């Protein structure tokens, strides 16, 4: 298959990724520059098939990732906007180039004509290099799929749809950010959404706020705040390298060595090895609970999260109203409003929402009018230095990694 470069889903900028990939890359460069890592792809909807044409198009796009590099203007903007990114790191990022040979893509036909099938993707190389593949690779695969497999859609009304969502959130006094890079329908779809959110935030004045986007390139384009701190990957890698006992707080201490005192927000995920294990570790080291400014809920029951966290802070003698709660799991406008209502009743003052696929991949089939489903895909850290990495989550359907390691951690935390 041949395709013009302009038609392929190649990112326009090395910054077309989520902010926490940059902050984690800096932390890996600081602590683990020699560690080798592998990542593996999972299609959570096993009944959804890719076409051979789609995967060839995707493979061709990946080969062109070498064209991306940090520009001088982007570097200057990062220095000003993200002062916690050091000169050493920005120099490293300026020299960084994607190496497509680190990515192995295998098409596995399952239909009799060999034209439909599954795809296996494995990424391998130094952790500090391979860490940047995950987000743009998934965005590229998703866009490739909607270019040649599911084409029963168009961009009509996307601006109005995104604007109406923002209007509802802003009028309900919600603070929210756009988190939809990895499973977007296309870069154009995400760009349309961002423009609509910016317009709504200018039109609708009140206590609600559109805080920014996780996508660094779009933040750069539109003068927004890039949003994000830390992902499951950091906890997974640190635990595999250093051990699972008190892995949550160990990961946070290592993070603080890179970011404390440099204007970086200290917001932690709680569910890498379940929120229960996180709370156990937090309770054992209350000084860390004091220092970290907020927690992010990304799986499980969001309505159980607020009461659990309030109880934890109260038992530690920490005013829970001084801490931030961020929700980011499969959010819709309705879900955000319900969560905000509960958090208001619990007297949490700083509550915000990171909304992803609902904003950047909310389309309808032209032929049926029914929802055109987004891909449910993930790329997770599989190993570091040959040691398996796992993620338990508060939704056990999202558990990934070596089964023996999973059982070990369950026993360790009494899960």
Residues forming beta bridges with residue 126, ordered by sequence position: 36
Same domain, 9 and 100: yes
pLDDT over 80 at 5, yes or no:
no
Same domain, 380 and 346: no
Other CB atoms within a 10 A radius of the CB of residue 235 amount to: 26
Same domain, 10 and 143: yes
In a domain, 236, yes or no: no
> Residue 40: which H helix or E strand, with range?
strand 36-43
Parent domain of 101: 5-153+375-413
290-315 average pLDDT score: 97
Q: Tens of pLDDT along 340-387?
A: 999 999 999 999 999 999 999 999 999 999 999 999 999 999 999 999
CA–CA separation, 392 vs 275, rounded Å?
10
In a domain, 56, yes or no: yes
Work out how many domains the chain is built from and give that number.
2
Q: Cβ distance 364 to 371 under 8 Å?
A: yes
In a domain, 370, yes or no: no
Same domain, 73 and 216: no
Same domain, 269 and 321: yes
In a domain, 37, yes or no: yes
DSSP states along 318-342? --GGGSEEEE-SS--HHHHHHHHHH
CA–CA separation, 161 vs 197, rounded Å?
10
Domain CATH code at residue 214: 3.20.140.10
CA–CA separation, 148 vs 50, rounded Å?
9
> Tokens standing for 38?
């592998």
Same domain, 216 and 339: yes
In a domain, 235, yes or no: no
Report if pTM > 0.85: yes
Same domain, 266 and 319: yes
In a domain, 241, yes or no: no
CA–CA separation, 244 vs 236, rounded Å?
9
pLDDT over 50 at 1, yes or no:
no
In a domain, 318, yes or no: yes
What lies within 8 Å, CB to CB, of 230 at 6+ separation is: 20, 23, 24, 255, 267, 268, 269
Same domain, 328 and 214: yes
Same domain, 269 and 306: yes
Same domain, 141 and 200: no
Same domain, 318 and 223: yes
Residues forming beta bridges with residue 324, ordered by sequence position: 294, 350
Same domain, 49 and 169: no
Residue whose pair of structure tokens reads 């029951």 in the numeric block: 301
Q: Tens of pLDDT along 129-144?
A: 999 999 999 999 999 9
Q: Tens of pLDDT along 117-176?
A: 999 999 999 999 999 999 999 999 999 999 999 999 999 999 999 999 999 999 999 999
CA distances from 225 to 212, 214, 289, 392 (A): 5, 8, 26, 31
In a domain, 239, yes or no: no
Q: What is the DSSP letter of 346?
A: T
């Amino acid at each position: 298959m041949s395709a013009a470069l302009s038609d392929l889903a190649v990112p326009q900028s090395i910054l077309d990724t989520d902010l926490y990939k940059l902050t984690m890359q800096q932390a890996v460069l600081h602590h683990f520059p020699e560690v080798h890592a592998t990542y593996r792809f999972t299609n959570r909807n096993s009944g959804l098939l890719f076409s051979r044409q789609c995967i060839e198009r995707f493979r061709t796009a990946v080969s062109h990732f070498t064209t991306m590099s940090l520009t001088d203007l982007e570097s200057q903007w990062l220095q000003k906007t993200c002062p916690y990114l050091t000169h050493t790191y920005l120099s490293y990022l300026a020299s960084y180039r994607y190496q497509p040979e680190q990515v192995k893509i295998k098409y596995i036909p399952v239909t009799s004509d060999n034209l439909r099938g599954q795809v296996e993707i494995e990424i391998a190389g130094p952790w500090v290099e391979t860490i940047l593949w995950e987000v743009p690779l998934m965005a590229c695969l998703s866009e490739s799929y909607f270019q040649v497999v599911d084409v029963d859609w168009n961009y009509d009304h996307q601006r109005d749809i995104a604007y109406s969502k923002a209007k509802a959130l802003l009028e309900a006094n919600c603070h929210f950010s756009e988190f939809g890079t990895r499973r977007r329908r296309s870069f154009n779809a995400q760009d349309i959404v961002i423009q609509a959110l910016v317009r709504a935030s200018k039109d609708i004045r009140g206590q609600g706020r559109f805080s920014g986007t996780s996508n660094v390139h779009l933040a750069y384009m539109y003068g927004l705040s890039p949003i994000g701190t830390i992902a499951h990957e950091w906890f997974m890698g640190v635990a595999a390298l250093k051990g699972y006992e008190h892995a949550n707080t160990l990961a946070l201490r290592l993070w603080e060595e890179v970011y404390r005192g440099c204007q970086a927000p200290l917001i932690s995920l709680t569910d890498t090895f379940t929120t229960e294990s996180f709370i156990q570790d937090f309770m054992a080291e209350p000084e860390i609970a004091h220092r970290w400014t907020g927690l992010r809920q990304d799986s499980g029951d969001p309505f159980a999260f607020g009461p659990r966290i309030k109880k934890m802070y109260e038992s530690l003698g920490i005013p829970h109203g001084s801490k931030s709660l961020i929700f980011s799991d499969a959010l819709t406008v309705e879900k955000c409003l319900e969560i905000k209502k509960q958090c208001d009743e619990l007297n949490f003052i700083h509550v915000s929402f990171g909304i992803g696929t609902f904003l950047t991949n909310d389309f309808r089939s032209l032929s049926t009018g029914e929802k055109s489903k987004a891909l449910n895909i993930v790329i997770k850290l599989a190993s570091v230095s040959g040691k398996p990495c796992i993620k338990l989550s508060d939704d056990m359907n999202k558990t990934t990694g070596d089964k023996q390691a999973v059982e070990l951690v369950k026993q360790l935390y009494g899960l």
